[in-house]
Structure 1
């Protein structure tokens, strides 16, 4: 269950890295794509929940790091919505996955 990192660029130009305990996150994101904020939000939450379930299936417990990352991303998305004009039309760019 290799750890995977998704590098993104927010609508305001900041780069950030999302941590996943499982490579299953690769099924939700593709490098070079741009997603509108609601689509990114939904995919991110679903991907991190899926990754946490994979950990549970393997080790018998949920991954608290994946759930913390899910909450961190939700907070970052809410900050974009508060500060960026037209947030739901804004795009998040998937830069790399490794």
Structure 2
């Protein structure tokens, strides 16, 4: 995971989240604001993620820990920046980040 994050290879990140986190392409898309088809295209390498705000949205959506954000060359999220499923309860992270 660390190598994929440092390379900003979101396709590899999505593949690892799917493999080790058990998330479907649809679930990854739901968390990151993408359609299943877009997630599939990114995972297959036919589309790349290059925009900083998209990296931030993906990091937020997948609830990446601070170390993962820093590996992506993003600042750790500020308190309150992330949205959680329910107020007061932290989101569960995909197993790929545990």
* TM-score (structure 1 length as normaliser): 0.27
The structure with more radius of gyration = 1
Higher strand content, 1 or 2: 1
Which structure exhibits the higher relative contact order, with contacts defined as CA atoms closer than 8 Å and separated by 6 or more residues? Answer: 1
